[in-house]
Amino acid sequence: MSGVRKERADAVRNREAVLAAAARLFADHGGPERVSMDDIAQAAGVGKGTLFRRFGDRTGLVRALVEQRTERLRAQVVSGPPPLGPGARPDVRVLAVLDALLRFKLDNRPLMLALENADVGSPYQNEAYELWHAQLMALLAEVRGHRDADFLAHALLAAVRSDLIEHLVRAGKSPGELCEGTAALVRAVLGGADSPEAGKVEEKGEAG
């Protein structure tokens, strides 16, 4: 009775080995473009054929890596506890989401930089982007109406793009400064109040 055979154990092992090796090499070398597929295969301890059979091509590998990395964060936003997840006030949540995204990218700096630069237009081809955008747009609409919510959500996300973060960090900005800047942007977009009272979004951590 041949139904569907399970995925072979060695295949699973190899796939994970490749993803792990790729993540490390991309991070080490600061960009997927700077690592050859041969190097990845060798570091993972598999043949080149295996690598390409699994992931199709370089882009496929990068995409798989993106999905693996963002899944955790996505889960937190979709169904985690407030303020990131549902339940918090929309204004609070906008800041929480942006802040989480920023911190996530700071924590995975070389990798996320590599991933967003995978190829032309890649940050916008990433499936996760749609999610962040839809989420932010809905929240913005709640806070300040539907007008321009679409574009403004894109603008907020653009402000935490990996290469901008990289640029600022290299220019000497501290993570705290970036968080503070992001918060200021969010405040401005949310309702304009620059003063804390109008839309006091409780300060999250960094700006302590």
Tokens matching residue 52: 């390409």
CA dihedral 150, 146, 199, 136 (to 10 degrees): -40
Which residues, in sequence order, are CB contacts of 46 under 8 Å at separation 6+? 14, 17, 18
User: 22-25: long-range contacts (C-beta < 8 A, 24 or more apart)?
Assistant: 22/61, 22/62, 22/65, 23/65, 23/69, 23/111
Per-residue interface string for the shown chain with a second copy, residues 135-154, x marking contact by CB under 8 A: ---------x--xx-xxx-x
**What is the distance between the alpha carbons of residues 83 and 81, in angstroms, rounded to a whole number?**
6
Q: Please, what is the minimum distance in Å from the beta carbon of residue 101 to a second copy?
A: 13
The yes or no reply on residue 16 touching DNA (CB under 7 A) is no
Instruction: Rank residues 15 and 144 by Cβ distance to a second copy and give the closer one.
Output: 144
Q: How far apart are the first and last CA of the chain?
A: 64
Could you tell me if 98 and 106 are in contact, meaning their C-beta atoms sit under 8 angstroms apart?
no
- Candidate residues 88, 181, 204, 206; the one interacting with a second copy per rule CB under 8 A: 181
- Candidate residues 25, 50, 66, 118; the one interacting with DNA per rule CB under 7 A: 50
The yes or no reply on residue 46 touching DNA (CB under 7 A) is yes
- Site residues, DNA (CB under 7 A): 1-2, 5-11, 13-14, 35-38, 45-50, 52-54, 56-58
- Site residues, a second copy (CB under 8 A): 30-31, 33, 113-114, 117, 119-121, 123-124, 144, 147-148, 150-152, 154-155, 158-159, 161, 163-164, 166-168, 177-178, 180-182, 184-185, 188-189, 191-194, 198-199
